Amino acid sequence: MTKSTVKKARKKPGKPKPDDCDSPALAMREPRGHSQKSEMMMFSTRRVVALALAFCALLRTDGKTQTSPKVATPESQISAGPLYRERYRPQFHYTVKKGWINDPCGLVYHAGDYHLFNDHNPLGNVIPGALGDKNRPPSRWSHAVSRDLVHWQEMPVAILPDKLGAVFSGSGVVDVANTAGFGKGPGFGKSADKTLVLVYTSAGCPFSQSISYSNDRGRTWTRYKDNPVVSNQGQMATERDPRVFRHGPTKKWGMVLYVKRGVARFFTSEDLKKWTHASDFTGRDFHECPDMFELPLDGVVRLRILLDRTSLEVFANDGEISMTSCLVPAEQNTSLELYAKGTEVHIESLAVHKLRSAWDANR
Q: Tell me: the pLDDT tens digits for 287-334?
A: 899 888 777 666 788 888 888 777 788 888 877 777 777 777 787 887
pLDDT tens column, 26-44:
434 443 333 323 322 332 2
d(CA 91, CA 264): 37
The answer, as to whether pTM is greater than 0.75, is no
The question of whether 62 is a catalytic residue gets the answer: no
DSSP state letters, 148-197:
SSSSEEEEEEEE--BTTBEEEEEEEEEETT-TT----STTTTSSS--EEE
Q: Is the pLDDT of residue 223 over 90?
A: yes
Computed over every residue of the chain, the mean pLDDT equals: 77
- Alpha helix positions (H), the chain: 24-27, 74-79
80: left (phi over 0), alpha (psi -120 to 50) or beta: alpha
Please tell me the distance from the alpha carbon of residue 349 to that of residue 48, in angstroms, as a whole number.
8
**CATH numbers and ranges of domains, the chain:** 20-30+63-298 (2.115.10.20)
pLDDT in tens, 59-73: 333 333 333 333 344
> Which member of 19, 20, 62, 103 is catalytic?
103
List the beta bridge partners of residue 186: none
Report the percent of the chain where pLDDT is more than 90. Answer: 46
Strands 311-316 and 300-307: antiparallel
